[in-house]
Amino acid sequence: MLVHTRLACAAMSVHCKFWKRPFRANLDHSEVVLRNLHYRNAKPKPSVPPKPVDLVRKGAEKAEESKEITETTSQLNAIIEEVQAVRTAIEMRADELAQKRRENNDCANCLEELRSQESNSGIDACIKQLLLEPKTVNTLHKYIEESEGRMESLQNRWISVKSEKDDELRRARNEYDSMGQEKELQRETAEVLRLADAIESDLYVKHEHLSKLKREVERMEQVQLNRSAYTRRIFEIVANIRKQQEEIDKVLSENRYIQKELKSLGGKLDRTFTVVEEKLYRDVQRDTSMQKAYRLLVKIHEECSWVVSATEACGRINREIDELNDQIAIQQQKRLDEALEKVLNDCMEVKQENDALMNTLGTT
């Protein structure tokens, strides 16, 4: 009981001194009290032979005293922890107070600088009055404090705009990569159109020749000739021209369909390669054993691209050969047409001369 009373008195003294002295002194005093308690508990006491009747009672009292000592020690430890927490909070408050003081000093320095600049530059009286008002100063402080938020919002806007521009740049690069194939298709289309123009010009020449032949037939109707043979020949020529026109239209439609199919297949192939390449690239990042498959895929794609380009080159060469052959045939046909036209003109001149001679003979 005496030890319990002493521990209670020590706790009360520590609690009372805690609110009167600085925290470091209270903490040191608490440590001293704990050391004294430990020393008192560890100090050997004179052994008095107990009475046989009071052995049980003294054992119970000792157990109760040891329990009370343990509880008091735990209470003291809790008090020490509270002291440390309060001390930490006070230190944080002191740091915040020092920071506020520094901010106030900075604001005061800014105000002094503004006032000095005002005195040096001769600011208007209205501006001076506004700077002297605390509301205006608070507004300026608030504006300065909100500058970080504005900066953050501007950074967020910059990040969003940068991501949009990066997406646009990536799309533009993809479009530029696909422009090579489009240019090749455009060149092939231009070649087909040029061939169609040549065929149309040939058809125009043939139509002109046909019209001349029709006019010649109309002139020859007055002469007693075999008209059925000429008419049948004209119809055969017209039928051949129509058949050629139908074949040309069929070839053009087939070329357009093949171009669409080639463009569609090329797009599907590029998209498939992109998807497979991305999948293998992710697998390579997870498993290094997939690097060989990734390299084989890239190599296969390059080889296939080379084969396609070689096939296209062969096709271009064959088309150029066909165009040259067609041009040769057209030139030969033009020469034949020119010779035939020359013969017809000579025949017409001979006929006119004969008519003139007949007229002269009739008049005589």
Q: What is the pLDDT of residue 227?
A: 65
- 96 and 31 in contact (C-beta within 8 Å)? no
> What CA–CA distance (Å, rounded) separates 40 from 302?
91
Residues 6+ away with beta carbon under 8 Å from 24: 87
- 215 and 293 in contact (C-beta within 8 Å)? no
- Nearest alpha carbon to residue 238 among 211, 201, 199: 211
Q: What is the pLDDT of residue 327?
A: 83
Q: What is the pLDDT of residue 46?
A: 52
Q: What is the pLDDT of residue 109?
A: 80
Residue 48, classified by CB atoms within 10 Å of its CB into exposed (0-12), middle (13-18) or buried (19+), is exposed
- Quote the pTM value: 0.28
**Average pLDDT of adjacent 10-residue blocks, the chain of 364 residues:** 46 46 45 52 51 62 79 82 83 84 80 70 60 73 76 83 82 71 74 80 80 73 61 86 90 87 85 85 79 83 86 86 84 75 79 77 66
What DSSP assignment string belongs to 62-89?
HHHHHHHHHHHHHHHHHHHHHHHHHHHH
- Nearest alpha carbon to residue 315 among 187, 144, 207, 154: 187
Region class of 224: left (phi > 0), else alpha (psi between -120 and 50), else beta: beta
- Give the Cβ contact number of residue 7 at 10 Å: 21
Q: Which residues of 159-196 are buried (b: 16+ CB within 10 A; e: fewer)?
A: eeeeeeeeeeeeeeeeeeeeeeeeeebeebeeebeebe
> What CA–CA distance (Å, rounded) separates 359 from 364?
9
Residue 315, classified by CB atoms within 10 Å of its CB into exposed (0-12), middle (13-18) or buried (19+), is exposed
Q: What is the pLDDT of residue 21?
A: 44
Q: What is the pLDDT of residue 277?
A: 83
Q: Give, to the nearest 10 degrees, the angle between helix 125-132 and helix 55-121.
A: 170
End-to-end CA distance of the chain: 179
Question: What ranges do the domains of the chain cover?
Answer: 2-42+64-123, 155-356
> What CA–CA distance (Å, rounded) separates 318 from 323?
9
Mapping DSSP to helix (H, G, I), strand (E, B) and coil, where does residue 56 land? helix
